[in-house]
């Protein structure tokens, strides 16, 4: 569906660290904009000075860039509706709030929190709807003056229409909200600060947003926003009510909603573990959408080609870490070797690398990279898989040592050393033959014979294909490490 008129927005509040749910929202908006040839707007909803932070803002932009989710209008790129940070648009909101009041769409409410609570309780007890009861809807000038003389402060409330509000959600179809369930709501605080309920739809209107795609948690604010939108149309601020599509909840462990506070939901975690951006995007796109019945690994270009908001599923999506990893692994395999070697870069340096920079051997890295590429799930695993090539001595991993160095290990290692010393070091097959023969001499299958050799040489029981690893490490260092292991075994005996 090409439609260059499409204008979507991603409008995060810069609080805390970016999380999976937020990125899924950004991704669906972005994919829809790119699929239709429309415009992606990035707007920063930083009207809550107490919670917003500049650090969080920087992180958000950095995360979007890392993922390749670019924007056509917004911070740093500008655009016809600048500024795109709400903290810089306060005059606009004050102006609109004033016009809404002048036109009778909003009014001052002088009720105190305690009074509201008392009436709410009474309504509950009587089985009536317990939202705001409209007490200040039609105050006369005298009543207002009297309240003000008492020293009361007031918030500004939007006057909801008395009819039901119906709209067709792009994901869940037709929805109707009755007036009892959507009472008049605050749009400006007593201190004059505009609320999310006002600034979000006002900016959507001013920025010409055509499709609002956001999480299901915001569904209850949609009827309010539609009513506000209609008032804005009357005032000439908005042209038409946008379409809304609410993306399904994402469930985590134990079928509970994945929350921002869940460690699993932190975007930085995936980045630090070495997810590829395209692997993570691929997985996140499956939270509420599917590519096809028999394919769930695809490129970003394929996603863009296929993505349509109409195909998003209303049912809750389940976050499945194993599946995310499997998809990421597939994306690692899809890279060409040079791109893979490049992508591993950060984990071959401080602070991840456990070797000194001058110990790094580019030729050894180049030789081992293809073997690593077919085995890693996340890039951060590269460090432990190749450190044996760069460290002067292999890491000491007690658990691995205990597991592999069972009785008989010294005898096996002694024979393996002899056979390896005589092997052809230009061929991994010849090294395999050597260890195989050593195993046979002691009645051990290859797998069992291999384990002590692997631990002696790499320090660990699991790793990359052993014989290729030995070949790359070289004859001298391999034999020296086996000797050191034999010495250690002898000392323990």
Which residues make up the interface to Zn ion (CB under 5 A)?
Answer: 109, 111, 135-136
Question: Using an 8 Å Cβ cutoff, are 264 and 309 in contact?
Answer: no
Active-site residue, selected from the candidate residues 239, 256, 257, 260: 260
Q: How far is the CB of 204 from ligand GLU (least distance, A)?
A: 8
Three-point CA angle 68, 74, 76, nearest 5°: 80
Q: How far is the CB of 185 from Zn ion (least distance, A)?
A: 12
Cβ proximity to ligand GLU, 245 vs 279, nearer residue: 245
Asked if 197 is part of the footprint of ligand GLU (rule: CB under 6 A), the reply reads no
Which of 94, 139, 206, 218 lies at the binding interface for ligand GLU (CB under 6 A)?
Answer: 218
Residue 111 interacting entry, from Zn ion, ligand GLU, none, C-beta within 5 to 8 Å by type: Zn ion
Q: What CA–CA distances, in Å, run from 135 to 109, 112, 140, 157, 357? A: 8, 12, 12, 11, 71
Which of 19, 34, 214, 419 lies at the binding interface for ligand GLU (CB under 6 A)?
Answer: 214
In the range 58-77, which residues lie near ligand GLU by CB under 6 A? none
SS3 annotation, 306-362: HCCHHHCCCCCEECCHHHHHHHHHHHHHHCCHHHHHHHCHHHHCCCCCCCCHHHCCH
Question: Using an 8 Å Cβ cutoff, are 228 and 158 in contact?
Answer: yes
Q: How far is the CB of 229 from Zn ion (least distance, A)?
A: 24
Q: How far is the CB of 196 from ligand GLU (least distance, A)?
A: 6
Cβ proximity to ligand GLU, 12 vs 194, nearer residue: 12
Q: Which residues contact 28 (CB under 8 A, 6 or more apart)?
A: 213, 247, 285, 288, 289, 307, 309, 312
Q: Is the peptide bond before 351 cis (omega within 30 degrees of 0)?
A: yes
Q: How far is the CB of 308 from Zn ion (least distance, A)?
A: 44
Asked if 12 is part of the footprint of ligand GLU (rule: CB under 6 A), the reply reads yes
Residue 11 interacting entry, from ligand GLU, Zn ion, none, C-beta within 5 to 8 Å by type: ligand GLU
Q: How far is the CB of 305 from ligand GLU (least distance, A)?
A: 25
Cβ proximity to ligand GLU, 59 vs 430, nearer residue: 59
Kindly state the number of chain residues that form the binding site for ligand GLU, as judged by CB under 6 A.
7
Long-range contacts of 236-239 (CB under 8 A, 24+ apart): 237/96, 237/99, 237/202, 237/205, 237/206, 238/205, 238/206, 239/205, 239/208
Cβ proximity to ligand GLU, 12 vs 459, nearer residue: 12
Asked if 45 is part of the footprint of ligand GLU (rule: CB under 6 A), the reply reads yes
Residue 341 interacting entry, from ligand GLU, Zn ion, none, C-beta within 5 to 8 Å by type: none
Cβ proximity to Zn ion, 185 vs 467, nearer residue: 185
What three-state secondary structure class fits 304? Answer: helix
Q: Which residues contact 235 (CB under 8 A, 6 or more apart)?
A: 96, 99, 100, 103
Question: Using an 8 Å Cβ cutoff, are 411 and 395 in contact?
Answer: no
Asked if 11 is part of the footprint of ligand GLU (rule: CB under 6 A), the reply reads yes
Cβ proximity to ligand GLU, 45 vs 278, nearer residue: 45
- The whole-angstrom separation of Cα 469 and Cα 364 is 9
Three-point CA angle 43, 48, 49, nearest 5°: 110
- The whole-angstrom separation of Cα 83 and Cα 89 is 7
Q: State yes or no: is 260 an active-site residue.
A: yes
Residue 34 φ then ψ, to 5°: -70, -35
What three-state secondary structure class fits 293? Answer: coil
In the range 226-265, which residues lie near ligand GLU by CB under 6 A? none
Cβ proximity to ligand GLU, 201 vs 279, nearer residue: 201
Asked if 400 is part of the footprint of ligand GLU (rule: CB under 6 A), the reply reads no
Active site residues: 260
The site for ligand GLU (CB under 6 A) is made up of: 11-13, 45, 200, 214, 218
């Amino acid at each position: 569906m090409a439609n260059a008129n499409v204008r979507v927005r991603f409008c995060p509040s810069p609080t805390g660290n970016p999380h999976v749910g937020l990125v899924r929202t950004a991704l669906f908006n972005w994919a829809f904009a790119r699929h239709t040839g429309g415009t992606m707007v990035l707007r920063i909803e930083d009207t809550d000075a107490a919670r917003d932070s500049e650090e969080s803002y920087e992180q958000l932009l950095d995360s979007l860039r890392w993922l390749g989710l670019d924007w056509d209008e917004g911070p740093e790129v500008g655009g016809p509706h600048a500024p795109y940070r709400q903290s810089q648009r306060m005059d606009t909101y004050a102006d609109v709030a004033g016009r809404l009041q002048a036109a009778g769409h909003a009014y001052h409410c002088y009720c105190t929190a305690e009074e509201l609570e008392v009436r709410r309780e009474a309504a509950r007890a009587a089985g009536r709807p317990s939202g705001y009861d409209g007490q200040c809807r039609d105050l006369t000038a005298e009543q207002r003056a009297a309240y003000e003389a008492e020293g009361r402060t007031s918030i500004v409330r939007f006057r909801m229409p008395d009819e039901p509000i119906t709209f067709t959600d792009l994901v869940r179809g037709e929805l109707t909200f009755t007036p009892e369930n959507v009472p008049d709501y605050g749009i400006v605080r007593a201190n004059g600060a505009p609320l999310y309920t006002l600034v979000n739809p006002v900016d959507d209107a001013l920025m010409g947003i055509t499709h609002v795609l956001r999480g299901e948690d915001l569904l209850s604010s949609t009827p309010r926003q539609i009513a506000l939108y209609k008032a804005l149309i009357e005032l000439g601020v908005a042209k038409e009510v946008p379409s809304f599509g609410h993306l399904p909840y994402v469930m985590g462990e134990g079928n509970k909603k994945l929350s921002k506070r869940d460690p699993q939901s932190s975007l930085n975690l995936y980045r630090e573990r070495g997810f590829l951006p395209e692997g993570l995007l691929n997985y996140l796109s499956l939270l509420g959408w599917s590519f096809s019945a028999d394919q769930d690994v695809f490129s970003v270009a394929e996603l863009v080609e296929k993505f349509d908001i109409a195909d998003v599923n209303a049912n809750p999506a389940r976050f499945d870490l194993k599946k995310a990893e499997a998809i990421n692994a597939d994306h690692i395999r899809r890279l060409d070797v040079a791109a893979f070697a490049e992508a591993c870069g950060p984990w071959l340096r401080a602070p991840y690398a456990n070797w000194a920079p001058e110990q790094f051997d580019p030729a050894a890295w180049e030789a081992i990279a293809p073997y690593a590429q077919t085995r890693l799930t996340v890039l951060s695993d590269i460090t432990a898989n190749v450190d044996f090539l760069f460290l002067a001595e292999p890491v000491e991993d007690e658990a691995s040592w205990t597991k592999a160095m069972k009785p008989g290990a010294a005898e096996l290692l002694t024979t393996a050393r002899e056979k390896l010393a005589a092997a052809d070091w230009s061929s991994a097959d010849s090294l395999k033959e050597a260890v195989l023969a050593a195993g046979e001499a002691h009645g051990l299958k290859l797998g069992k014979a291999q384990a002590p050799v692997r631990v002696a040489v790499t320090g660990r029981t699991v790793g990359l294909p052993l014989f290729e690893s030995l070949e790359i490490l070289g004859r001298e260092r391999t034999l020296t490490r086996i000797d050191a292991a034999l010495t250690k075994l002898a000392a323990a005996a």
